[in-house]
A and B are shown apart, each in its own frame.
Chain A
Amino acid sequence: MTKMQFMAELAARLSRLPREDVERSMEYYGEMIDDRMEEGLSEAEAVVAMGDMDEIVKNVIGETPLVRLVVEKIKPKRALRAFEIVLLVLGSPIWLAVAISLLAVFFSVYVTLWSVLIGCYASVVGGLFGGVVGGLGAAVLFMIKGSGVSVLLMLGGALCCFGIFAPLFPCLNRLVVLTVRWSKCFLHFVKSLFVGGGEQA
């Protein structure tokens, strides 16, 4: 592939991005190819040295905040005609409401996910303290009263609670890590929706 072909493909794949981002990455890769050629590589070798195009595109998009992608997508590419502006304004109760509710849905799903996790933590802590401390406390009380069997019962209960709830902690921690990772993947997926189809553009 020649340098021009590489740059053209890169521009096409990134066409949905804000112009500033496209220019910056084109300058960067153009410079890199030139540097490699100066070192003695042929044009084709220099292009190959840049690596996989999918990887390159992924890295450029990854650094662009989602908000910029969205703004770029909805920005009109040409001057709006009068009737289009009128339509936009008249239709705003509809598309505005839809956009807000979509955002609200995403937001509430996300908040629910984290609320569930926090709730789980709360129950584990509750179970741990309630069960263990309660059991120990009751055991002490029974010891004072002198009924040995009840003491053993309470101690056993406290131990059970500990055994049940304590191992849940590392499980929950792992769940949190996974949730964070999934959020990142999901964000990248959403971004790719805004940029995907660059070749069709």
Chain B
Amino acid sequence: MNRTEFMSQLKENLSNLPVEERENAISYYTEYLDDAVAGNLNENSNTSIEEERIIRELGSPSKIASQIIGNYAVSDIATSPKSAKKGLSTLWIVILAIFASPIALPIAFGAVALAFALIVTIFSFIFAFALVAAACIASGGFVIIVGFRILLTSFDFATFFLFVGGGLITIAIGIIFGWLTMFLTKKSLSLMAQLLGKFLLRRNLA
């Protein structure tokens, strides 16, 4: 990789950082390369050969960038004041930092996949409850209507009470399921928000 490629890749990988941070990093590595080349030149080599060798020693620009981003995210969380917009961009940088560490990457993928699976499961449950609620209320109502029809056509009070009673019980069950759906939705949303907060916090201290 030559110097231009290295620098432009590094710049690109750092594009999510604030301008000052990015410029600072670019200056550092520009100067590093200049000093390294100057310190190593002899009559057997030329500038571009030395540059390529030193760039190879430095490693991949994306790995270097991840170190810089991770470091920035951790220190920024600790020191910056909380404004909503800044909080959002900081959150984004933290999420990038979670994925930035080469060691944590497989773990991060696993964690995200697990979290996703859990969320899908919880919402399937909630959806099922909602369906049961709807079904109960609908069929309960239908049964009551049928009960009235029977009353009006055959004046069979016994059957009428049977149907209306059964229908009301079913509706009641539906309402209970409906309430459970609301309750579960609220609980799981707040739990997820809490866990996400704890997870991000723990990552910052690590």
Bound together = no
A interface list, Cβ under 8 A from B:
none
